């Protein structure tokens, strides 16, 4: 299984080459699960109802109203849009959040600080397996909380957790930059020591922080092949020990 996280801004910028790569992977017998963000559109809708985005440590603070907006944007707008794009490229895909089946189970990370924000602790692996059988699984980063409520999960964190829990072979964090950059150069490889240095010297900031953290967590959890790229056919930055 390959888990691919697609950033919110990438959803609208997927290239024909991306869909070709997906077809090739499927032809090789790979199952594919896509975890998608929705960043910008969630922020736009928040602004529309007078709730500008507030982020603490790169995590979107989410009250109950924003949770409802996030849920609707991800599952009713972004996911169908992805589904339509796959259909237009003659690739079967499955909107996994369609039936509201709770296949991601988790808990609050810190309700007092972040509100309705969660982390994924368990997954229904069988459901994921069936949904990705000869079809690309499309998954929103929303988990079921302890009392049956929906909780928002950072999409990088969600992709890592799901990939780790299902023991995926590969995790690709697809974003709008060709990899982790240092002084305008893409780093072909990134080890933990170098990443720590980049954090400390503020060469690695904003959305790249949770992404790189998620990438190292996946590696620590035994996923051999973890990368950050803007092109599915190129490695970009390989995350290494």
Ligand X SMILES: Nc1ncnc2c1ncn2[C@@H]1O[C@H](COP(=O)(O)OP(=O)(O)OP(=O)(O)O)[C@@H](O)[C@H]1O
Residues of this chain that bind ligand X (CB under 6 A): 7-10, 37, 39, 155-156, 175-177, 180-181, 203-208, 211
207 is a site residue for Mg ion (CB under 5 A): yes
Pairing of strands 104-108, 93-95: unpaired
> Closest residue to Mg ion, Cβ-based?
207
With CA atoms as reference, report the closest residue to 2 among 22, 19, 18: 22
Task: Tell me the C-alpha to C-alpha distance, in Å, between residue 138 and each of 27, 123, 165, 203.
Answer: 19, 15, 17, 32
Q: Which is nearer to Mg ion, 7 or 132 (CB)?
A: 7
- Rounded least distance, CB 158 to Mg ion, Å: 11
Residue 93 has a CB neighbour count (10 Å cut-off) of: 22
Binding mask 151-190 for Mg ion (x = CB under 5 A): ----------------------------------------
Half-sphere exposure of 134 (CA within 13 A, CB side): 0
206 binds, among ligand X, Mg ion, none (CB under 5 to 8 A by kind): ligand X
Q: Which is nearer to ligand X, 8 or 145 (CB)?
A: 8
**Would you call 172 helix, strand, or coil by DSSP?**
strand
Q: Which is nearer to ligand X, 26 or 62 (CB)?
A: 62
Residue 92 has a CB neighbour count (10 Å cut-off) of: 12
Q: Which is nearer to ligand X, 83 or 211 (CB)?
A: 211
Q: Which is nearer to ligand X, 77 or 125 (CB)?
A: 77
- Rounded least distance, CB 179 to ligand X, Å: 7
Give first-to-last CA distance, the chain, whole Å: 22
Half-sphere exposure of 1 (CA within 13 A, CB side): 25
**Would you call 222 helix, strand, or coil by DSSP?**
coil
204 binds, among ligand X, Mg ion, none (CB under 5 to 8 A by kind): ligand X
- Rounded least distance, CB 129 to ligand X, Å: 25
Binding site for Mg ion (CB under 5 A): 207
């Amino acid at each position: 299984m390959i888990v691919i996280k697609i950033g919110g801004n990438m959803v609208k910028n997927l290239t024909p080459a991306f869909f070709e790569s997906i077809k090739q992977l499927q032809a090789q017998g790979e199952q594919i699960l896509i975890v998608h963000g929705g960043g910008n559109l969630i922020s736009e809708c928040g602004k529309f109802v007078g709730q500008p985005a507030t982020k603490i440590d790169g995590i979107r603070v989410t009250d109950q109203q924003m949770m409802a907006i996030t849920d609707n944007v991800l599952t009713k707008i972004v996911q169908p849009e992805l589904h339509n794009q796959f259909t237009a490229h003659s690739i079967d895909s499955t909107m996994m959040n369609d039936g509201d089946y709770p296949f991601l189970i988790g808990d609050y990370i810190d309700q007092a600080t972040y509100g309705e924000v969660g982390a994924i602790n368990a997954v229904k692996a069988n459901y994921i397996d069936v949904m990705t059988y000869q079809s690309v699984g499309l998954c929103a980063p929303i988990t079921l909380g302890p009392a049956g409520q929906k909780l928002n999960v950072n999409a990088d964190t969600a992709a890592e957790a799901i990939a780790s829990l299902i023991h995926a072979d590969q995790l690709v964090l697809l974003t709008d930059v060709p990899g982790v950059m240092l002084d305008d150069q893409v780093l072909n490889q990134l080890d933990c020591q170098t990443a720590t240095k980049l954090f400390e010297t503020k060469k690695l900031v904003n959305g790249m922080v949770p992404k790189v953290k998620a990438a190292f967590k996946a590696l620590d959890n035994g996923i051999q092949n973890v990368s950050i790229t803007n092109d599915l056919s190129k490695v970009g930055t390989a995350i290494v020990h």
